[in-house]
């Protein structure tokens, strides 16, 4: 009896494997990898797109920007994703720089999230104050520099514990690049990069690690990706922009930053730094996140895969943008979308 | 044989990966404490801090290169493991003595032995989560302030609660914030993790002490404690081996430590300050290493860690097994 049961089970398993293989033959599979910050959005895109085009299976692995760049350089994935645009060196490693297309998929912000249980309302920060806090020059919440810009909020006499990312990340890159524009002292001592040497504070791995430090430590302040901070209901401060306004991060203020970047994106250039841009309502610690593909698409096996990839990103930059807004990411402005779509339609497998 | 090949290939891979860092830093890697993954560009200043300009009136920009040194992480591994041993060894030896000499009388040896082996099999991440969400907040809100109130006025212990920092040339003293995630927290979590393994090996070692030895000492008029002490002395090399096994596990523990130690790449003498161990550094940074020498430097740290734990294990093995044969 038991043997019969085992035989039946094996038979069923084999039928399932065979039918699965047959199904796979009709499907086009695309693999992407890279940045963790847009991963929730990309995963949602993949799910929604699969409803419209069931024959195309896209999957995205959030392994970090550096890992995404390495994967697309090694041609082990169909597309890579990175929070920072490719550096010259990384472009060189990918072969012919003219053969690489990077375009923004969405934009996000990095926010100063803090733990002050008795403080009601958003705390205001300027870039200089933030730089000084992370350099250890402002050590108390009731420092005169903080009190001066927070007239409506009563700040406590409490030590500030900065919290930072210990892993290499696009979030750190955006945060440090912004601080470097705000303070020469900061630029000359800590500097900008995906991972930097902080003089004090507590480190956490990933957005969740920094969030854990901030949520558990009264008086701490950490930089966290805006969508993550929003989803976890953390208190995020307003940051003063170039126009002098104190702005909190949200789809509108980050969207304003992408619009303000248009003058920087002339002649088909699709990358731009969004931090510290001029304009009303602009959130100053914003950044694009990019998709990286090869123009000749020689990392893909078939023309069918190439078509599927174009289809997916064409959809992502049109209908997909509505999903971005609903998830608190900032949709791209119409101009950026148009030029990115033009580049995508010019891709062809060779 | 296969094991030897595996070990050799791990060493070769690590050494090859670390080679650029070994060539660049050499032995200096072991004694320097900077860990700067990014290059910093700043205006060149002369001795009095005046910005320097070139002939065309442009600022001269100096680039401060990447710098890597393993000293803070080696210090972190040494201190967190030592703290773990400090807490765990007396408890473990006491439990082992209880299990060998007292528990059988009450028919407790088997159930308690089972519980200890069960504790040893709990995955380390579970200890890490407990440390992060239970122990660290408790240290922050209760133990830390309590110890500070107790010891603050004791002369010579000020370094535990205050630190001097030098930022941009200015030195100041400030109170160390009690944040919970610290060297002490890592030491405690590690102590709980290595307690079962030290206890269970010590128990087996103590069981192997010949009955005649114990009875002989009792016959000579030794008290219970004196004969227990004699047992420990008789079995000391085996017990030392058990401790070394615990030490090897503590030094190599990765995720649990990364969750509770605070991850600061600096040598902070206070146990209430955050730190970093070699293993936690790898857990934090190896996933997505930066440019140039970052990856080779991490490989270098891994190589040091491997050599260190190999040494621990070989010494422990030689002490526990080697002498019997």
Residues of chain A contacting residue B174, judged by C-beta atoms under 8 Å apart: 139, 159
Contacts with B139 (C-beta within 8 Å, 6 or more apart), sequence order = B178, B180, B182, B184, B185, B188
Residues of chain A contacting residue B264, judged by C-beta atoms under 8 Å apart: 198, 200-203
CA A241, CA A116: separation in Å to the nearest integer?
23
Give the relative orientation of helices B224-234 and B211-219 as an angle to the nearest 10 degrees.
140
Q: What is the pLDDT of residue B301?
A: 92
Alpha-carbon gap: A201 to the closest alpha carbon of chain B (Å):
7
- ipTM beyond 0.85? no
Inform me whether the pLDDT recorded for A343 exceeds 70.
Answer: yes
Q: Which chain B residue shows the shortest CA-CA distance from A200? A: B264
With CA atoms as reference, report the closest residue to A283 among A325, A225, A240: A240
Q: What is the pLDDT of residue A21?
A: 54
Residue B265 to residue A197, Cβ atoms within 8 A? yes
Q: Mark out chain B residues that contact chain A at CB-CB < 8 A.
A: 34-43, 64, 132, 136-137, 140, 165, 167-168, 174-175, 177, 179-181, 258, 262-265, 274, 276, 283-285, 287-291, 294
Least confident of A99-108, A152-161, A282-291, B151-160: B151-160
Residue pointed to by tokens 């119409």:
A334
Q: What is the pLDDT of residue A81?
A: 92
| pLDDT level of residue A11 (50, 70, 90 thresholds) | low
pTM for the full model?
0.79
Q: What is the pLDDT of residue A46?
A: 92
Computed over every residue of chain A, the mean pLDDT equals 85
Q: Which chain B residue shows the shortest CA-CA distance from A172? A: B38
How many pairs of residues across A and B have Cβ atoms under 8 Å apart? 123
Q: What is the DSSP string of B40-80?
A: EEEE-B-TT-PBPB-TTSPBPEEEEPPEE--HHHHHHHHHH
Alpha-carbon gap: B198 to the closest alpha carbon of chain A (Å):
31
Query: Would you say A32 and A105 are in contact if contact means Cβ atoms under 8 Å apart?
Result: no
With CA atoms as reference, report the closest residue to B182 among B251, B88, B83, B90: B83
Residue B288 to residue A168, Cβ atoms within 8 A? yes
**A28-34 vs A79-82, strand pairing mode:** parallel
CA B291, CA A245: separation in Å to the nearest integer?
37
Length of chain A as a residue count? 350
Domain residue ranges in chain B: 71-324
Give, as one character, the DSSP assignment of residue A150. -
| pLDDT level of residue A25 (50, 70, 90 thresholds) | low
CA A174, CA A8: separation in Å to the nearest integer?
57
Residues of chain A contacting residue B50, judged by C-beta atoms under 8 Å apart: none
Q: Which of A63, A70, A193, A210 to mutate to test the interface with B (most CBs of B within 10 A)?
A: A193
| pLDDT level of residue A64 (50, 70, 90 thresholds) | confident
User: How far is Cα of residue A263 from the mean position of the Cα atoms in its chain?
Assistant: 22
Give, as one character, the DSSP assignment of residue A203. E
**pLDDT tens, chain B, 325 aa long:** 888 999 899 999 999 988 888 888 888 888 888 888 877 777 777 766 677 777 777 777 777 788 888 899 999 998 999 999 999 999 999 999 999 988 888 888 888 888 888 888 888 899 999 998 899 888 888 888 888 888 888 887 878 888 777 655 667 777 777 778 889 999 999 999 999 999 999 999 999 888 888 888 889 988 888 999 989 988 888 898 889 889 888 988 888 898 888 888 888 888 888 889 999 998 888 877 777 788 889 999 999 999 888 887 787 777 766 655 4
Mean pLDDT of A225-239: 88
Give, as one character, the DSSP assignment of residue A132. H
Q: What is the pLDDT of residue A290?
A: 92
Give the angle subtended at the CA of B166 by the CAs of B29 and B161, to the nearest 5°.
95
Q: What is the DSSP string of B219-269?
A: HTT--HHHHHHHHHHHTHHHHHHHHHHHHHHHHH--HHHHHHS----S---
Instruction: Domains for chain A: give ranges and CATH numbers.
Output: 27-107+287-345 (3.40.190.10), 109-264 (3.40.190.10)
Query: Would you say B181 and A213 are in contact if contact means Cβ atoms under 8 Å apart?
Result: yes
Inform me whether the pLDDT recorded for A15 exceeds 70.
Answer: no
Nearest by CB to residue A192, choosing from B38, B43, B132, is B38
| pLDDT level of residue A209 (50, 70, 90 thresholds) | confident
Q: Tell me the CATH class for B71-324.
A: mainly alpha
Residue B39 to residue A65, Cβ atoms within 8 A? no
Q: What is the pLDDT of residue B48?
A: 66
| pLDDT level of residue A110 (50, 70, 90 thresholds) | very high
Q: Say whether B4 sits in a helix, a strand or coil.
A: helix
Q: Which of B33, B40, B275 to mutate to test the interface with A (most CBs of A within 10 A)?
A: B40
Q: Which chain B residue shows the shortest CA-CA distance from A139? A: B174
């Amino acid at each position: 009896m038991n043997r019969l049961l085992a035989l039946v089970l094996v038979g069923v398993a084999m039928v399932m494997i065979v039918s699965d293989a047959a199904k796979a033959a009709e499907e086009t599979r695309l693999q992407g990898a890279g940045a963790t910050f847009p991963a929730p959005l990309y995963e949602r895109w993949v799910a929604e797109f699969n409803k419209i085009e069931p024959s195309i299976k896209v999957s995205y692995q959030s392994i970090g920007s550096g890992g995404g760049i390495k994967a697309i350089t090694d041609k082990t994935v169909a597309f890579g994703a990175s929070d920072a645009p490719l550096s010259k060196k990384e472009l060189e490693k990918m072969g012919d720089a003219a053969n690489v297309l990077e375009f923004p998929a969405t934009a996000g912000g990095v926010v100063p999230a803090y733990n002050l249980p008795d403080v009601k309302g958003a705390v205001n920060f300027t870039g200089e104050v933030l730089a000084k806090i992370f350099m250890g020059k402002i050590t108390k919440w009731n420092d005169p520099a903080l009190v001066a810009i927070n007239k409506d909020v009563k700040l406590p006499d409490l030590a500030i514990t900065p919290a930072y990312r210990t892993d290499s990340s696009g979030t750190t890159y955006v945060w440090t690049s912004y601080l470097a524009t705000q303070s020469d002292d900061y630029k000359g001592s800590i500097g900008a990069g995906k991972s930097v040497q902080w003089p004090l504070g507590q480190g956490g791995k990933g957005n969740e690690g920094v969030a854990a430090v901030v949520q558990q430590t009264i008086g701490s302040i950490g930089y966290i990706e805006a969508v993550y901070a929003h989803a976890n209901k953390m208190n995020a401060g307003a940051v003063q922009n170039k126009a002098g306004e104190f702005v909190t991060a949200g789809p509108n203020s980050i969207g304003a930053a992408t619009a303000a970047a248009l003058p920087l994106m002339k002649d088909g250039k699709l990358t731009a730094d969004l931090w510290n841009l001029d304009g009303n309502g602009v959130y100053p610690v914003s950044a694009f996140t990019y998709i990286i593909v090869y123009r000749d698409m020689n990392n893909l096996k078939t023309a069918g895969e190439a078509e599927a990839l174009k289809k997916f990103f064409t959809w992502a930059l049109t209908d997909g943008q509505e999903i971005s807004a609903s998830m608190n990411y900032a949709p791209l402005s119409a101009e950026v979308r148009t030029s990115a779509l033009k580049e995508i339609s010019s891709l062809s497998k060779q | 044989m296969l094991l030897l090949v595996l070990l050799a290939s791990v060493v070769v891979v690590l050494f090859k990966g670390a080679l650029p860092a070994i060539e660049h830093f050499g032995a200096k890697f072991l004694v320097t404490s900077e860990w700067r993954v990014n290059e910093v560009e700043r205006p060149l200043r002369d001795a009095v801090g005046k910005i320097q300009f070139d002939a065309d009136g442009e600022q001269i920009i100096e680039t401060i290169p990447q710098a890597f040194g393993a000293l803070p992480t080696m210090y972190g591994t040494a201190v967190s493991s030592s703290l773990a041993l400090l807490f765990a060894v007396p408890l473990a030896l006491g439990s082992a003595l209880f299990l060998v000499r007292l528990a059988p009388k009450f028919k407790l040896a088997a159930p308690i032995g089972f519980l200890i082996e069960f504790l040893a099999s709990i995955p380390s991440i579970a200890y890490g989560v407990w440390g992060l969400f239970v122990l660290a907040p408790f240290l922050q809100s209760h133990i830390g302030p309590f110890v500070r109130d107790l010891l603050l006025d004791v002369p010579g212990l000020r370094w535990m609660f205050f630190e001097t920092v030098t930022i941009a040339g200015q030195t100041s003293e400030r109170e160390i914030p009690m944040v919970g995630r610290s060297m002490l927290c890592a030491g405690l979590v590690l102590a709980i993790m290595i307690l079962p393994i030290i206890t269970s090996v010590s128990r087996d070692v103590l069981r192997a002490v010949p009955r005649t030895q114990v009875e002989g000492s009792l016959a000579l008029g030794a008290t219970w404690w004196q004969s227990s002490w004699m047992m420990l002395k008789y079995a000391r090399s085996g017990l030392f081996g058990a401790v070394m096994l615990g030490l090897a596990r503590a030094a190599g523990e990765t995720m649990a430590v990364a969750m509770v130690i605070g991850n600061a790449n600096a040598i902070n003498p206070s146990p209430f300050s955050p730190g970093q161990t070699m293993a936690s550094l790898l857990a934090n940074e190896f996933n997505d290493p930066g440019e140039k020498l970052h990856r080779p430097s991490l490989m270098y740290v891994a190589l040091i860690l491997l050599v260190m734990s190999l040494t621990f294990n070989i010494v422990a093995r030689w002490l526990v097994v080697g002498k019997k044969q």
